Structure 1
Amino acid sequence: MSSTFLSSDEVHELTGRRQHAAQVRTLRTMGIEHRVRPDGSVVVLRAHVEALMGVTASRRVAEWQPNWSAA
């Protein structure tokens, strides 16, 4: 299962930048929502990036079925 947020390596790969300030500038230019933590690191929601990049999640949730044999 994927994390809710991109890892620091994934943010680096996405932006092509290592410094947090440069990552923020690049994310703004790309129109990607993000937040800056108190330590200066960048937080990006995985779902937001996937939606912007056109990635569709193929998660199938099993439909609930009653157990008719239980009595």
Structure 2
Amino acid sequence: MSDSMFLSNDELVELTGRRHRACQAEVLRSLAVDHKIRPDGRVIVLRRHVEQQFGVSAEHGRAAVTEPDWSAA
């Protein structure tokens, strides 16, 4: 995974399954993933948003695990 603020082109293709920018934007809309279109037409997506949408812990780079609070019983 990259340290970049935005997903790379390859990551966008992997996420959307599409190479064409308009098709990427359409898939992102259907997944409710916030994105912007730059003046040059490139689709940009904040890495942090995707990590949050898909339950990835930024600190550990893996899915967040929710444990029950056993002390509440």
TM range (shorter): 0.7 to 0.9
Counterpart of 1:5?
6
Greater C-alpha radius of gyration = 1
Q: Considering fraction of residues, name the structure with more strand.
A: 2
TM-score by length of 2: 0.76
- The answer as to 2:57 corresponding to 1:56 is yes
Counterpart of 2:47?
46
Unaligned runs of 5+ in 1: 60-71
CA distance in structure 1 between the partners assigned to 2:39 and 2:17 by the alignment: 22
- What is the aligned length? 59
TM-score by length of 1: 0.78
Deviations 1:17-55 (A, max 9, x none): 000000000000000000001111100000000000000
Of all paired residues, the percent bearing the same amino acid is: 53
CA distance in structure 1 between the partners assigned to 2:57 and 2:21 by the alignment: 28
CA distance in structure 1 between the partners assigned to 2:24 and 2:9 by the alignment: 10
Higher RCO, Cα 8 Å, sep 6+ = 1
Counterpart of 1:32?
33
Counterpart of 1:18?
19
Unaligned runs of 5+ in 2: 61-73
What RMSD in Å do the two structures reach over aligned CA positions?
A: 1.2
